[in-house]
Amino acid sequence: MKSPDAIVIGAGIAGASCALALTNAGLTVLVLDRGPVAGGTTGAGEGNILVSDKDPGPELTLALRSRDLWFDMQSDVGDHFELEAKGGIVVARHDEKPLKDFAAKQRAAGVDVQEVGDRELHELEPFLTPEITSGVFYPQDSQCQPMLAAAHVLRAVRLRGGQVITGATVKAIDTSGGRVQGVQSDKGNFSSPIIINATGTWAGDIATMAGSHLPIAPRKGFILVTAPAPKLIHHKVYDSDYVANVASSDADLQTSTVVEGTRAGTILIGASRERIGFDGRMNVDILRRLAAQATSLFPILRDIQLLRAYRGFRPYAPDHLPVIGEDSLIQGLWHSAGHEGAGIGLAPGSAHLITAQIIGKTPFMDPAPFSPKRFQAGAA
């Protein structure tokens, strides 16, 4: 396949979703990745598909639709990636008013939100500390195993005539005449009028290579993984500081907890966020804070052993909205990037927005708020 209809750079979940949507729309697709499938940001993600943490607005609209598209994707390629509508519970430790106000706004925007009182809350999560007496339940919040998802979606793409080449580093993007002509890689040159930049944390580099620019920066997050335990935690449980953090521009470290059990029996504790570039070193203090917050939510976790910790780099744009759409400087270059901690959840929705625009159909929502144009206006 020397001249596919579209080339997707990036074999993570963003690229895989785009490749599938384009393939299903009848295009021949080539996926290139310098590493293996799901070797970058996707491989370090928890697999969150959340609506609970998003303010009403375009991102929530995208998240709601994308969440349903995840289940469509499962029907399409098979039940291979542990997709589960696990449900999320957000609790407030101190003041519950902001949490309830936030929930009310989300309900108005179409999110399934259920306020739960003391008894109900502890029926849902029997080991939650008795100190917390109310919360909000989000049945739509879901979970998948993102590496398996990317792999099985790409497998479907291959079976439907697409091509996936891993270990292929893109060296140059040919944009003569202000529009995309093709790519040069160390595994061959390919021409195509459409290139999708789905390279996560490295999306800014690909944009630069094509002669455009995109301000995507990494944000570091740690995830703690415990030894396998009996089923102690049934949902994704957040304290409500998390909702505040996602929308924050404060560059200092903030921690707030998300605790959840997995099918493998391990318990994941996550959500520390720290914007310090690509320094990947372990920070003992962050581990301590995450552990302290998790055990204060669930005292039973005190005796559970921490087995390992890993870090993910979440790519984000300055305004914390994803960048989805055609580049305003280079015609034929499309971006699906900057989803921050929500890249897994928003991947199929982003893919559908891009595909609809490429094949000239009306997308399910106005894609304008996500357009890369917002960062490229001055230069254009």
Partner 1 sequence: MIAIIGAGPAGLSAAAAATRRGEEVIIIDSSSQLGGQYWRHLPSARNDSHSLHYDFSKAQKLFDELLSQPLLTRYSNSQVWQAEKCGDQFHLYILRNGVEEKVVADKVILATGAYDRTIPFPGWTFPGVMTPGAAQAMLKGHGVLVGKKVVIAGTGPFILPVATGLAESGAEIVGLFEFNNPFRWIFNLHGLLLNPSRIAEAFYYLKKLQKHRVKIEFGKKVESATRSSAVVDGTEIECDVIAVGWGFAPDVTLAGILGAQLGVDSDGTVIVKVDRRQETNILGLFAAGEATGIGGSTLSMIEGRIAGGGRGGLSRWRAQVFANGLKKVYPVPSILTKNLPEETIICRCEEVTRGQICTSIDELGAQSARTAKLFTRAGMGLCQGRVCGRNVSEIVADHLVQKVSDSERIAGGQRPLAAPISLGELGDGLAKKF
Residue 279 engages partner 1 in binding (rule: CB under 8 A): no
User: Is the C-alpha dihedral spanning 76, 78, 80, 85 positive or negative?
Assistant: positive
Characterize the bridge pairing of strands 29-32 and 6-9: parallel
Out of 26, 249, 303, 362, the residue judged to bind partner 1 by CB under 8 A: 303
Regarding 310 and contact with partner 1 (CB under 8 A), the answer is yes
Rounded alpha-carbon distances, angstroms, from residue 338 to 199, 320, 370? 9, 8, 10
Q: Do the beta carbons of residue 344 and residue 298 sit within 8 Å?
A: no
Closer Cβ to partner 1, 7 or 147, answer by number: 147
Q: Which helix (H) or strand (E) holds 227?
A: none
Q: Are 23 and 39 in contact (CB under 8 A)?
A: no
- Of the pair 222, 370, the CB lying nearest partner 1 is at 222
74 binds partner 1 (CB under 8 A): no
Of 251 and 282, nearer to partner 1 (C-beta) is 282
Is residue 197 a contact residue for partner 1 (CB under 8 A)? no
How far apart (Å, rounded) are the C-alpha atoms in residues 256 and 275? Answer: 15
Residue 289 C-beta: closest distance to partner 1, Å: 7
**Cβ(380)–Cβ(328) under 8 Å?**
yes
When asked if residue 142 is in the footprint of partner 1 (CB under 8 A), the reply is: no
- Asked whether position 152 contacts partner 1 by CB under 8 A, the answer is yes
Q: Considering only residues 20, 92, 151, 337, which one is a binding residue for partner 1 as defined by CB under 8 A?
A: 151
Among 1, 306, 356, 365, binds partner 1 (CB under 8 A): 306
What's the CA gap between 1 and 330, in Å, rounded?
24
| 305 contacts partner 1 (rule: CB under 8 A) | yes
Amino acid at 181: Q
Contact stretch for partner 1 (CB under 8 A) within 162-170, 180-188, 312-320, 333-341: 162-170
Using CA atoms, how far apart are residues 330 and 351, in angstroms rounded to an integer? 19
Binding mask 23-62 for partner 1 (x = CB under 8 A): ------------xxxxx---x-------------------
